[in-house]
Amino acid sequence: MTDAADQLPDHLASAHAMILAERAARREAEALAARAQAVNSHSDALIARLRLEIAKLKRDIHGSRSERKARLLEQMELQLEELEADASEDELAAEMAARSSAVRAFERKRPSRKAFPEHLPRERVVIAAPSNCPCCGSAKLSKLGEDITETLEVIPRQWKVIQTVREKFSCRECEKITQPPAPFHVTPRGFAGPNLLAMILFEKFAQHQPLNRQSERYAREGIDLSLSTLADQVGACAAALKPVHALIEAHVLAAERLHGDDTTVPILTKGKTNTGRIWTYVRDDRPFGGQSPPAALYYASRDRRQEHPERHLKSFTGILQADAYGGYNPLFKLDRDPGPLTQALCWAHSRRKFFVLADIATNAKRGKNAAPISPVALETVKRIDALFDIEREINSLAADERLERRRKDSLPLITELEEWLRAERAKLSRSSPVAEPIDYMLKRWDGFASFLGDGRICLTNNATERALRGFALGRKSWLFAGSDRAAFMATLIMSAKLNDIDPQAWLADVLARIADTPITSLEDLLPWNWQTTTPLQDQAA
């Protein structure tokens, strides 16, 4: 038995009508499916955006309790990026499908867009108005107003050659020839302008773009700059910027307190690469209301022997905030010349060891292979978080105010924590996983408790971890690092960033002015002074 819907018409006209009806139904079904897909994609993107905002709010509220949140937020942002792109693509597909059907097009609800910055130049493009009324044809038109639609656009990078003309003159009296001096170039017989040099340096040392990739990109733009030529410019710039680097180095080592840390980097050797070290020392007095400008100092080495921090800090006297690396121990000896440093250990570093044993969320993902959650580690994390809660309240206060609050609120918690850790350690066996982080803290308790005696000390060494983040990202882009030169340029770039200065604009201005700047005025070129004397927006203009 055949269904009536499956029967074909006998007449050609009826068959054509049936085909057209089927096509219209198919288009409508496709439009409905595209609209449903666009709605689903929009919902997924909206959910991801809300989850990201909730996670960021939780991190702001709970702070250090949300361990490893930074990495999770980065993953959520990448996921949101993909979902937003899919939603826009599906929206356009639904709009195109709706044009050939009666289905209403789907339009996403997007968050309100911020206005474009006022300092951007505006180019006014006026669409010519009709000379006659499109309705009656009359030429008596009177302007009522105008509507403006703003579109953000970018001008592609433009290369140009600046010709500096030096005219020669001869004296008719003495016949002596005079001519203005040639313009300064960083390299002898150089050709690159300061903005080009600053771009090369910033791309290599801040954006992690090796010179060979830069050379290839410039070649696609019609500019032939070989790898050796770029490398020559980098070396010459480093030589020209040494006076500024020396001033930053002296400023950092004159601090009362430094954050110190190191990380691994690949360093070129003969025929291979070795795992070297980048050391950083950060001066940042802002947490305790200090007025000195922040700065960062970097050094490179091919190993991690203790002689390196001894050499770096041979003239430094003050507080060193770092991890428990044994290479720092000679700096704290009483017979050190010019005097022992004050040790201040990082609570975030020690907390991380306990958090690994108390991470319920990560443990749940391991399923059957998950290790049991340590109640001792969980309780330790809660007690340490109570200290961080106090620190967030007193951050940016003056050193004496911070010290007063610590003695009032933090001292009882520290005393209870030490007694509790020693009592719990006595109950644990040597093989217990939580015994190792407890011993790590108890053996160095004076270093952890030093913040109770000085309001300038911070609980964490996060300042250096942030300063080393660029090298951690760069390891994915480099074949190897240029060791000393990489540390040299990182000092300049990171110091500019810490002072909210655009490193590329600052480097361009310094390279243009350093030859004509007397030694007594070199401090005017430092990032924190340059910000007040040469505003960034003026440089951009």
Long-range contacts of 367-371 (CB under 8 A, 24+ apart): 371/433
Distance of CA 12 to the CA centre of its chain: 69
Enumerate residues 6+ apart whose C-beta is below 8 A from 234: 200, 201, 204, 211, 485
CA dihedral 67, 71, 75, 78 (to 10 degrees): 130
Q: How far is 352 from 357, CA to CA, in rounded Å?
A: 9
For residue 125, with 0-12 CB atoms within 10 Å meaning exposed, 13-18 middle and 19 or more buried, which class applies?
exposed
DSSP readout, 136-156? T------------------PP
Residue bearing tokens 């340590």: 374
* Whether 312 contacts 279, CB under 8 Å: yes
Q: How far is 85 from 58, CA to CA, in rounded Å?
A: 26
Instruction: List the chain pLDDT tens, one digit each, 541 residues.
Output: 455 556 667 777 777 787 888 887 787 777 777 777 777 777 777 676 666 676 666 566 555 444 455 555 556 565 566 666 666 666 666 677 676 666 666 565 555 667 888 888 899 988 888 888 888 888 888 888 888 888 888 788 889 998 889 899 999 888 899 998 877 777 766 788 899 999 999 998 988 888 888 999 999 999 998 888 888 888 888 888 999 999 999 999 999 999 999 988 877 666 566 788 899 999 999 988 888 999 999 998 988 999 999 999 999 999 999 999 999 999 999 999 889 999 999 999 999 889 888 775 555 555 556 566 788 988 999 999 999 999 999 988 999 999 999 999 999 999 999 999 999 999 988 888 899 999 999 999 999 999 999 999 999 999 998 888 877 776 655 545 557 888 999 999 999 999 999 999 999 999 988 888 898 999 999 999 986 544 444 444 3
* Whether 420 contacts 442, CB under 8 Å: no
Residue bearing tokens 């700065």: 295
**Which residues of 165-271 form beta strands (DSSP E)?**
169-170, 177-178, 257-269
List pLDDT tens digits, range 15-58: 778 788 888 778 777 777 777 777 777 777 767 666 667 666 65
Strand, helix or coil for residue 336? coil
List pLDDT tens digits, range 479-518: 455 578 889 999 999 999 999 999 999 999 999 888 888 9
Backbone CA torsion sign across 344, 349, 353, 355: positive
Long-range contacts of 395-403 (CB under 8 A, 24+ apart): 395/287, 396/286, 396/287, 396/288, 396/289, 397/288, 397/289, 398/288, 398/289, 398/455, 399/288, 399/289, 399/290, 399/454, 399/455, 399/456, 400/455, 401/455, 402/288, 402/455, 403/453, 403/454, 403/455
Which pTM was predicted? 0.75
* Whether 341 contacts 331, CB under 8 Å: yes
Enumerate residues 6+ apart whose C-beta is below 8 A from 52: 73, 76, 77, 80
Record the tokens describing residue 125, joined without a space: 């493009």
Q: How far is 436 from 350, CA to CA, in rounded Å?
A: 11
Residue bearing tokens 């190792």: 436
